[in-house]
Amino acid sequence: VVLDNDVTFDSLGMQLSKTTFVIVDLETSGGTPAEGAITEIGAVKVCGGEILSEFRTLVNPGHPIPPFITLLTGINDSMVEQSPGISFALPAFIEWAGDCVFVAHNASFDLGFLRGSAKLLNISFPSHAVLDTLTLARCVLQPDEVQNRKLGTLAAYFGSPTEPVHRALADARATAHVMHALFERLGTMGVTTLDETLGITTVIKPAQRKKRTLATDLPEVPGVYAF
């Protein structure tokens, strides 16, 4: 591989060790933004394996919390009665997160709630890159290495000092530990940049898969070809 004089390996992609990540976890009063609301936001900001700061707040959902949710999370109506609503909590979180890469375990759930709440409030939610540790674990770990890819299973497997207990900050801390453990695995595979990591976790859509036919008649042996 020949690189121009002005090109460095770092410029080919931000190194994971130099990227600032915001690992976020939510507790909610329902399974979708249409049927529930955020009751707690917990997040950890990390770079180079070190915790820079943490964010945590209970959120008043504006309606009673279902009993089965209270049984799962331990969050009840009296706990959130004096807590800020999402109209205050979400802008505060966005400001704290800054220009960082978002990380979550099953990111479509957490980021879906955050984006849905921002839409209801008619405010802009950052379009930062998103890394899903659930998808990353499926890509990196061997099929028989762990029983499943749940956060609790991975946190125990990688020896996380924080046990995920369906509370936002604890789960975010556990996710951060899992993320770093998965990054170590990536390093043994030669994957060290954010672009490479996002690349291997990107789900290929059917329309993209169909484009493989464009390469059907390409030569399969080394040589110099004119196209």
Residues taking part in catalysis: 166
Structure tokens at 35: 């049927």
d(CA 86, CA 172): 19
d(CA 220, CA 32): 48
CA distances from 195 to 7, 11, 146 (A): 16, 11, 26
Spatial CA neighbour of 88 closest among 59, 111, 119, 128 = 59
**E strands, the chain, in order:** 20-28, 38-47, 50-58, 101-104, 130-132
